Structure 1
Amino acid sequence: MQRRLFLRSGSASAVALALAACGGGGGGADGVGNLATGVGSDTVGGTSASTTRPAVDGPDSYPFGSRLDAYVAGILPSAAAEQMDAAVRRAYDAWKARAITDVPTVRGGKAVRFGNSTAYLTVSEGMGYGMLIAVLMAGHDSGARALFDGLLTTVRARPAYSIPDVGRWLLDWRLTIDGSSTDAAGGGWNAMDGDLDIAMALLMADRQWGSDTGAWNYKQEAVDTINAMKAWNMKEDGTTKGMATPHVSRTSDYMTGHFRAFKRATGDALWDRAIDRSYELIDRMQTVYSPNCGLMPDFIIHTDSPNPIPSPGGYGDFVDTEGFYYANAQRNPWRWGTDYVTSGDGRWRDVCNKLVGFVERDCGGDGSRIAAGYRLDGSAIDRSYSPEGMIGPMLCGAMVDPRFQGFLDNLWNWNANNFTTDYYDSELQLIPMIVASGNWWNP
């Protein structure tokens, strides 16, 4: 299965295509500039990394396992809290040992490995996942803040240098094996999903550790990234966009729980519109194009028209599976189930009910039998293996309704007993396990 598509050409046109393939960008196809700031350097937010103060350990305001904020809706697995916490701790320790690496070209920098690639060290989505995991696991891992700051050091040392004006607050979407930025790797463009998670993690870090000590003002860094995404990745009506093709929108960028946090942090009504627009688009996909299954595609096109449609292929990741529930959309139940249990917004319960209800029927309640992807009519793409990256996010989708209790328990047990440390799949298991165990919280 081809999990991700990354173009390897360094030409200007291919760089724009690579950006869309990772779901980033904004501003139209002519928005290609070159602000070579930070390429191959150790700069962090315009300041040498060597001049930052060392990270400060603790105190942790929201240590793992404390469950200070009860979920407002939904259900949890039937397992005891202590049992679930133990499973998450084991998974985290295994993930950290395999995933985290030093960045040779960034002093003090850390990165989440991009699998077993010998060409690329990391991608921005992985960096976002790592920062979320680190801030959530403080209290179990005494080195969580140091890890978080190491990841942030790399993020700020490798800005999206091709994006005018606001690129310094966004991350170059792919780094070479030594951690450098080059036109042949990420090209200095951002990927929205990575920056969305980075901004959310920064807001969480402000709650966890405060912004008055250590090397970073987490709150200000978060607001700077949020505003940069508003300028580059968003339309005024709340629609996310891709740079090469601004009418293309990736459904897994509809991180509605993050949008709520951004609204609280900035007071900007754009993020309310982003939630409404995300629901409008997903409801159309489920109602018009998958009425019997409640599925949604990886990408939607013609979002600037009255009639958006699933991508026929060749617009987002530039593959023919863009109109399927596949390697991007598989993350959606994690995002929307998490939002529902913490916000109580019934729209996302309804969306997940349709989707999870179909998947439960399709696999007979046995998560190991979930297909690696589905066409919108419900036909399976591949059943030759148990896809961890598809099974993990379904945990959060099944949390929205008591009728899924048996399925949720099955999914929890399978993920807890079949955790992988392979990139992308491991993060798509670990973060949903944190959510399902009751350990997610908002800034």
Structure 2
Amino acid sequence: MKRRLFLQSGSATSVALALTACGGGGGGGTVDTAGSAGTAAASTNTSTASTIASSTTRSAVSGPNSYPFGARLDAYVAGIMPNNVSNSSMDDSIRRAYDSWKGNIVDVPSVSGGKALRFANNYLTVSEAAGYAMLITVLMAGHDSNARSTFDALLKTVRARPAYSIPGVGQYLMDWRLEADGSSSGAAGGGWNAMDGDLDIAMALLMADRQWGSTGTWNYKQEGINTINAMKTWNMKSDGTTKGLPSPETSRTSDYMISHFRAFAKATGDTFWSTSAIDRAYELIDRMQTQFSPNAGMMPDFIVNSGSNPVPSPGGMGDGTATEMHYFVNAQRNPWRWGTDYVTSGDVRWKNVCDKMMNFFKADTGGDPARTATGYRLDGSALDRPSGWQPKGMIGPQLCGAMVSSSHQDYLNALWSYNANNFSTTYYDGELQLLPMIVASGNWWQP
């Protein structure tokens, strides 16, 4: 089973080990228990490489950046924003955070001209990091004059390291983990993709098309559509359920990126994404909250038996860890994804989901984000509350969850203050603070 390890550091004396699945949770074929490739599972959503790569009209825009950071050209359709701080102050906090964060983007030794967001010393990067970095850089264009060149260098690495073990469409997906020099190997990612990384990569490409047009070196829109269609073929079941490894009946809740799905439908004209994928994600999350977490509104990192009898993973079936049944290092991203969708779409289903979660977090922490636990069982009990260290990657995404209702205004304000004053540049924590801060400040936009 493929999985990754990373360290989240809180202080000189406090280091917490977290696990999350960049590989095991996002494939569409089968692997044996040793992680070697097995027989590829054919998808009912057939799509050939030639169909995916069909030509798309390149978009053109006027000016170097059509949506510069801080412009807030698209007003949110629902929800609230922090009201204890001005827009300009929020923008300044984000600029400072971004300027410190971007030092983690490094050259890739084995890809000339390529860049990557550093993941760890033993492995240079993962596709999840590529997706985060591409989203952040396209959003910060206008502040960072080098945003487009950095984006293109990140994309160069993505396309230079395809998911070579996936038949037919792997060239449009990324090998989920790279060696220290940026090369692919069976010991690293093995040529398999991680859906969360490719979802963000595809979304960032559509945003790049809006930001810069697709008339330059890269046809961003076409590259995005290629990845979207490849994911439909490899990572999705015909009813809209996401598929995992080693079993297609394993589904990772943090892959339910609802606002991305809406953008994919718009870009491709394929209503599968705006109907089946979103509806099925809601069915699964509603079931987890209603039947397995009625008091806390939590959901597990992984759901198993997704087709016949969806239940929280008992462990060892998604990314191979014993924590898959908890709201932990995968599911902690969910309020960010679903709050983002609500403020940009107004779909009340995701407001209701977030409301349950945020009511629990407010009660659990007494309104103080610093008291957030490192993870939660579905009954609401804390996994751990370490002294002198806060799980910033657990706290950051709550910003977006709290945006769904004015009843969370005080907590949203507290969350903003915490994240702005306690920003981390450590991988995963930093991205799960910076991206939700961009959303909470009104600076997110759809392609």
TM-score by length of 2: 0.88
Alignment partner, residue 419 of structure 1: 423
Look up the equivalent residue of 2:73 and give its one-letter code: L
Counterpart secondary structure, 1:4: strand
CA contact (8 A) 1:57 1:145 kept: no
Structure 2: distance between partners of 1:340 and 1:144: 28
CA contact (8 A) 1:259 1:275 kept: yes
Deviations 1:387-409 (A, max 9, x none): 10000000000000000000000
Alignment partner, residue 61 of structure 1: 66
Structure 2: distance between partners of 1:275 and 1:439: 24
Alignment partner, residue 410 of structure 1: 414
Shift of 1:19: 3.1
CA contact (8 A) 1:392 1:428 kept: yes
Alignment partner, residue 195 of structure 1: 198
Alignment partner, residue 264 of structure 2: 262
In 2 relative to 1, CA 403–315 (structure 1 residues): closer, same or farther, beyond 3 Å?
Answer: same
In 2 relative to 1, CA 440–5 (structure 1 residues): closer, same or farther, beyond 3 Å?
Answer: closer
Look up the equivalent residue of 2:372 and give its one-letter code: I
Alignment partner, residue 336 of structure 1: 338
1:167 aligned residue (166, 170, 174) = 170
CA contact (8 A) 1:29 1:246 kept: no
Alignment partner, residue 132 of structure 1: 135
Shift of 1:268: 1.1
**5+ residue gaps, structure 2:** 1-15, 41-60
1:442 lines up with 2:434 in the alignment: no
Alignment partner, residue 231 of structure 2: 229
Structure 2: distance between partners of 1:333 and 1:196: 17
Shift of 1:4: 2.3
Shift of 1:27: 3.4
1:156 lines up with 2:171 in the alignment: no
Structure 1: distance between partners of 2:279 and 2:288: 14
Structure 1: distance between partners of 2:344 and 2:96: 25
Alignment partner, residue 47 of structure 1: none
Identity of aligned residues (%): 68
Look up the equivalent residue of 2:184 and give its one-letter code: S
Structure 2: distance between partners of 1:19 and 1:148: 23
Structure 1: distance between partners of 2:376 and 2:191: 33
Aligned length: 404
Look up the equivalent residue of 1:224 and give its one-letter code: N
Alignment partner, residue 87 of structure 1: 93
Deviations 1:110-157 (A, max 9, x none): 00000xx32200001000000000000000000000010000000000
Mapping 1:17-32, distance limit 5 Å: 19-20=23-24, 23-29=25-31, 32=38
Structure 2: distance between partners of 1:210 and 1:181: 30
Alignment partner, residue 141 of structure 1: 144
CA contact (8 A) 2:240 2:276 kept: yes
Alignment partner, residue 72 of structure 1: 77
Alignment partner, residue 13 of structure 1: none
1:3 lines up with 2:29 in the alignment: no
Structure 1: distance between partners of 2:268 and 2:213: 17
Structure 2: distance between partners of 1:198 and 1:146: 16
2:397 aligned residue (393, 403, 414) = 393
1:287 lines up with 2:290 in the alignment: yes
Cα root mean square deviation, aligned: 1.6
Structure 2: distance between partners of 1:268 and 1:128: 22
CA contact (8 A) 1:58 1:145 kept: no
1:429 aligned residue (416, 423, 433) = 433
Counterpart secondary structure, 2:18: coil
Shift of 1:3: 1.8
CA contact (8 A) 1:32 1:163 kept: no
Deviations 1:185-241 (A, max 9, x none): 1000000000000000000000000001x2100000000000000000000000001
Structure 2: distance between partners of 1:374 and 1:32: 34
Alignment partner, residue 210 of structure 1: 213
Counterpart secondary structure, 1:247: coil
CA contact (8 A) 1:415 1:429 kept: yes
Structure 1: distance between partners of 2:357 and 2:114: 39
Shift of 1:319: 1.3
Shift of 1:269: 2.1
CA contact (8 A) 1:248 1:301 kept: yes
CA contact (8 A) 2:23 2:319 kept: no
Counterpart secondary structure, 2:125: strand
**5+ residue gaps, structure 1:** 7-17, 35-55
Shift of 1:304: 1.3
CA contact (8 A) 1:57 1:142 kept: no
CA contact (8 A) 1:302 1:308 kept: yes
Structure 2: distance between partners of 1:145 and 1:132: 11
CA contact (8 A) 1:19 1:244 kept: no
Alignment partner, residue 58 of structure 2: none
Counterpart secondary structure, 1:293: coil
- Give the stretch that moved more between structures: 379-388 or 127-136: 379-388
CA contact (8 A) 1:33 1:163 kept: no
Deviations 1:325-369 (A, max 9, x none): 000000000000000000000000000000010011000000010
Deviations 1:355-386 (A, max 9, x none): 01001100000001011100000000111131
Counterpart secondary structure, 1:280: helix
Alignment partner, residue 96 of structure 1: 102
Look up the equivalent residue of 1:301 and give its one-letter code: V
Look up the equivalent residue of 2:97 and give its one-letter code: A
Shift of 1:5: 5.1
TM-score by length of 1: 0.89
Alignment partner, residue 46 of structure 1: none
Counterpart secondary structure, 1:19: coil
Structure 2: distance between partners of 1:387 and 1:118: 21
